[in-house]
Amino acid sequence: MDIKHLVEKNRNYVMEMRRYFHAHPELSFEEFETTKKIAEELDKMNIPYEINEKLGTGLVGVVQGGKPGKTVALRADIDALNVTECTNLDFKSQNDGKMHACGHDAHIATLLGAAKILAEVKDELPGKVYLVFQPAEEVGLGAKAMIEFGNWYEETDNIFGAHVWSPLEAGKISVEAGDRMAAADRFEIKVKGVSGHGSAPHETIDAVVVASAIVMNLQSLVSRTYSPLDAVAVTVGSIHSGNRFNIIAGEAVMEGTNRYFSREVGKRIKEDMIRVCENTAAAYGATATVDYTYILGPTINDEESSAIAEEAVVKVAGPEALVKVEKVTGGEDFSFYLENKPGCFAFIGGRNPDVDAVHPHHSEFFNIDDKVLAEGSGVYAQYAIDYLTKNA
């Protein structure tokens, strides 16, 4: 099924949609108007959908093929960030303090472009395609909310998603198998010591000293607890303790994040962190408590799914578009979909100095070259077509 002509046919549409959504960003779980606009576009394509009424945001459309077969899902996230845009784009944000600074506007447009392609070839499809427009990826809660919505996830056999990627040259696409994005956990450590006068440290248990020791000892989790072949990052991002120069603090609070790719590390890291914190504090006569939250699991591409995606990229954009990108320690809630279903998560290059698309994700200057998004739509659609055809 050759869809290249449909990719070209929809190029301007995908660009227009990206620019519309860029100008109208909405924050996580507040994407009400965004959802309405997506619904309007699906109505024009005669694609049925169901809005997540419990949330009032997010929806799942369905393209039913003309022949029986498997079910594949295509996902795009739709939320923006609390960022004040500083670009000079003609279509810059019209909502003060809100910006599509991570590219989710491009994701919406790309999936809408894929929807148009699939709507035109649906009679030839052996199976069904769900179009998942997901809210609240930026807070790591949207995927779970959509999994609990309706029965689309239960019915799905395979799932595909993508992220525009600012470090990657526009027109290049990465879909390789294995580790792609890291787990992202959050922790809070509270240290309890004994406060006192700065001139009499022997009468106190200094929470600042204890917290400092904990920070240093936590690094042994990376260097001495886990295999050097496992990529693990333990970061204490903030320490708050004390309120005056001549008072020894009796309490300290630290917050941070852990990143890793191995699910085996994920099973151990909470207990290992508690052990280090409690024992370090005890050595000073203090106590430490750890509040640990698993936010996102690792995003790991299935080999068979990645092979299908590679073929799709070559068919739509040519072999020169297919590149390899090193795994990254950022997190993605697409990982929740992959916990129980095989699938693939792609990186679509958006970097182009000619349109000032050189700034990192979450920057107030963030931009992407949206001329290449039509190929992204094609890859989404081709992936669905090829998966269903191979499994018919």
Annotated binding site for Mn(2+): 102, 104, 138, 163, 362
- Given phi > 0 = left and psi -120 to 50 = alpha, else beta, which region is 34? alpha
Q: Residue 218 and residue 221: Cα distance in Å, rounded?
A: 6
Q: Which residues are annotated as a binding site?
A: 102, 104, 138, 163, 362
Q: Residue 211 and residue 65: Cα distance in Å, rounded?
A: 59
Q: Which amino acid is at 226?
A: Y
Q: Residue 124 and residue 108: Cα distance in Å, rounded?
A: 25
Looking at residue 320, what DSSP letter applies?
Answer: G
End-to-end CA separation in angstroms for the chain: 14
Dig out the tokens for 206 from the structure. Answer: 């200094």
Q: Among 336, 349, 305, which Cα is nearest to 184's?
A: 336
Q: Residue 358 and residue 352: Cα distance in Å, rounded?
A: 6
Q: How far is CA 57 from CA 38, 41, 72, 142, 280, in A?
A: 10, 15, 22, 10, 46
What phi and psi, each to the nearest 5 degrees, are found at residue 220?
A: -70, -20
Q: Collect all residues with Cβ–Cβ distance below 8 Å to 150 and sequence separation of at least 6.
A: 50, 60
Looking at residue 224, what DSSP letter applies?
Answer: I
What phi and psi, each to the nearest 5 degrees, are found at residue 86?
A: -125, 20
